[in-house]
Structure 1
Amino acid sequence: MRRVRFVIFTVLLGFCSTVDVACADDAANAWKALQAGGHVALMRHADAPGGAGDPPGFRVDDCATQRNLSDKGRVDAAKIGARLKREGIAFGKILSSPWCRCTDTAALLNLGPVETEATFGNVVVLRDQREGLTGGARALIAKWNGPSNLLVVTHGANIAALTTISPASGEIVVVRGGSGSAEPVGRLLLD
Structure 2
Amino acid sequence: MFRLTALAAFLTAAFALPAPVQAQSGGGAWAALKQPGTVAIMRHALAPGTGDPANFELGDCSTQRTLNGAGREQSRRIGQAFRDHGIQVDRVLTSQWCRCRQTAELLGLAPVADFPALNSFFEDRSTRDQQTAAVRDLLADAPADEKLVLVTHQVNITALTDVFPSSGEVIVIEVADDGTVDVRGSFLIRAPR
Q: Is the 8 A contact 2:45 2:99 kept in 1?
A: yes
For residues 101 and 116 of structure 1, do their structure 2 counterparts lie closer, same or farther at Cα, with a shift above 3 Å needed?
same
The partner residue of 2:174 within 158, 166, 176 is 176
Partner in structure 1 of residue 46 of structure 2: 47
Q: Is the 8 A contact 1:38 1:146 kept in 2?
A: yes
Q: How does 1:1-191 map to 2 (within 5 A)?
A: 23=22, 27-51=26-50, 53-179=51-177, 180-191=179-190
Deviation (angstroms), 1:27: 5.0
Secondary structure, counterpart of 1:91 in structure 2: coil
Q: How many angstroms apart in 1 are the aligned matches of 2:107 and 2:130?
A: 28
Secondary structure, counterpart of 2:91 in structure 1: strand
For residues 140 and 26 of structure 1, do their structure 2 counterparts lie closer, same or farther at Cα, with a shift above 3 Å needed?
farther
Partner in structure 2 of residue 8 of structure 1: none
Q: How many angstroms apart in 2 are the aligned matches of 1:173 and 1:117?
A: 18
Moved more, 170-179 or 160-169: 170-179
Give unmatched runs, 5+ long, in structure 2.
1-20
Give unmatched runs, 5+ long, in structure 1.
1-21
Secondary structure, counterpart of 2:171 in structure 1: strand
Secondary structure, counterpart of 1:75 in structure 2: helix
In the TM superposition, structure 1's runs of 4+ consecutive aligned residues that sit over 4 Å from their partners are 24-27
Q: Is the 8 A contact 1:144 1:178 kept in 2?
A: no
TM-score of the pair, normalised by structure 1: 0.83
TM-score of the pair, normalised by structure 2: 0.82
Moved more, 39-48 or 138-147: 138-147
Q: Is the 8 A contact 1:122 1:155 kept in 2?
A: yes
Partner in structure 2 of residue 10 of structure 1: none
